[in-house]
Structure 1
Amino acid sequence: MGGLAKGLLAIETFRADTPRQSISEVAAASGLDRATARRCLLTLAHLGYATYDGKYFTLTPRVLRLGTACLATMPMPSIIQPMLDDLSERIGESSSASILDGSEIVYVARAAQRKIMSISLMAGSRLPAHCTSMGRAMLAQLKDHDLTALIGEGPFEPRTKNTITTLEGLQAEFAKIREQGYALNDQETEIGLRSIAVPVYNSRKVVIAAINIGVSAFHYENAEVVAKFFPQLVEIQNELCGLIH
């Protein structure tokens, strides 16, 4: 089982910003030694989960079977997706749903209307929780000791010049989120992107996910984002509360 664990570590190093990696890069990102990383990558290539051009490894679509199988067993995406589709069709903007996985968010549903970010997002995509509206909407609901156990005490990686990188700064932001009921992200994940998110509660009032709307910062100011899209998200938030157990 140790070999399986190491192989999964190698797979998890491939992200939207690192789709092609050398053995040395995977070893550094995973914490595996170079020989182990090489064995894992060659095994993945042999099984069809990766391609190898002699220097770089790239995951193949076959690896999606692993994530698809997981998502297929989760009722939440099938419940949320039609709501996001309808929402995005009405407002002409992209909307998403995600869950927390450690210090990252994992997209479980998405309805894309226009491309705003430089990376393509889909179910299974990951982003740091500390600098995303959905991540903050969920993190804001945690107790302080649970928060630091999950994301650490910082400093946190800046995605843009606007990113809050200190724990104190994030805690102040979380207090604001709890008071106002939404998380507003002003170009902290990527320049040009503004987004607003609300937490999703199950029938026991436990936060299990978040939903958001992302817009171009060149088309909407922060106040406009809140005025136009917060009520739309609250509508779905209330509807989901009675549907997810």
Structure 2
Amino acid sequence: MSAELSTTLIKATRIREYVAKHPGCVLKGIAKDLRLNKTTAYRILTTLVQLKWLTKQGSCYYLRTQQREQQFQPVGWLANQTVQPLVDARHLTAFLGMQYDGELVISQVFASADRLSDFALLGERQSLNASALGKCLLAFMDEPTRNAILQTTRWQAATKNSLTDRQDLLYSLAAIRDQGYALDDEEVQLNMRCLAVPVYSQVGQLVATLGVAGSDAALQRRQIKSLAHELDGVSHQLTNLIF
């Protein structure tokens, strides 16, 4: 028994050291370079992530202290040029959100002139279960990461409409994947709605979600499908210009 545990510990140490030297590495490369079975490497990686020794962004692994800071900084004037016209036309606020340690991090805010106070939300961390941004991340992230988050997270309710039941959340995530966008209807704040779509890299990796938020009067139900289509177009522009 002790010999087996020691072997596992040695493999875990080797993996951690490898990730430290190769930030952003993926399972296939780790298993190949360390000559490990992919199943064994995946099991150890998942354990190290759950222990918070490593962090996973999409399919890439980093030391927890090594997480790329630029992912949570403004993505620059290209994104602003792409998103701001939509924000100004609709009088809403747009957000880019990313998953970090099982939470949603607001990495960019695009506010119209009459909603400048929303810039205060930059860098805020939120539960993934409530907002459209968070649910969109959960719905479109890779299945092993989603399952690990669902199994280890105790969801908190922001309002009476927040989804905290695991089965209800699973049904909602399936619907989001089918329709291509996520909606929260007073789930974070009463009288407020948020609509979000996934944002992918040019190689098809989920990197963020793009959402717009506003009052239920500003973001009316009859506008949701057309606005989701418009958001999806902006998401594709972000993929081509930035990600």
Distance 1:75 1:196, change over 3 A: closer
The within-5 A match list for 1:1-245 is 70-71=69-70, 76-113=75-112, 114-115=114-115, 121-152=120-151, 155-222=154-221, 224-245=222-243
Root mean square deviation, CA, Å = 2.7
Q: Which moved more, 1:91-100 or 1:211-220?
A: 211-220
- % of aligned pairs identical? 22
What whole-Å deviation, never above 9, does each CA across 1:125-159 have from its counterpart, x for those lacking one?
Answer: 22211111111111101344421322435551110
Q: CA deviation at 1:219?
A: 4.1
Match of 1:64 in 2: none
Shift of 1:83: 1.9
Q: Kindly tell me: are residues 227 and 141 of structure 1, through their superposed partners in 2, closer, same or farther at Cα, counting changes over 3 Å?
A: closer
Does the CA contact (< 8 Å) of 2:93 and 2:110 recur in 1? yes
- Per-residue deviation at 1:104? 1.5
Q: Deviations over 1:176-217 (max 9, x none)?
A: 011000001101011111010000000011110011111211
CA distance 1:229–1:78, change in 2 (3 Å): same
- The number of equivalent residue pairs is 175
Give the CA deviation at 1:120.
6.2
Give the CA deviation at 1:164. Answer: 0.7
CA deviation profile, 1:56-103 (whole Å, cap 9, x unmatched): xxxxxxxxxxxxx93499684553233222221122211111111122
Provide structure 2 residue ranges, at least 5 long, that are not aligned to the other structure. 1-67
Aligned match of 2:56: none
Evaluate the alpha carbon distance shift between residue 164 and residue 216 of structure 1 in structure 2; reply closer, same or farther with a 3 A threshold: same
Structure 2 CA distance for partners of 1:219 and 1:89, relative to 1, 3 Å:
closer
Are the counterparts in 2 of residues 106 and 125 from structure 1 also a CA contact under 8 Å? yes
SS in 1 for 2:96: strand
Q: Which SS does the other structure have where 1:200 is aligned?
A: strand
8 Å contact kept, 1:80–1:97: no
Normalising to structure 2: TM-score of the pair?
0.63
Q: Which has the higher helix share?
A: 2
Separation (CA, whole Å) in 1 of partners of 2:125 and 2:81: 21
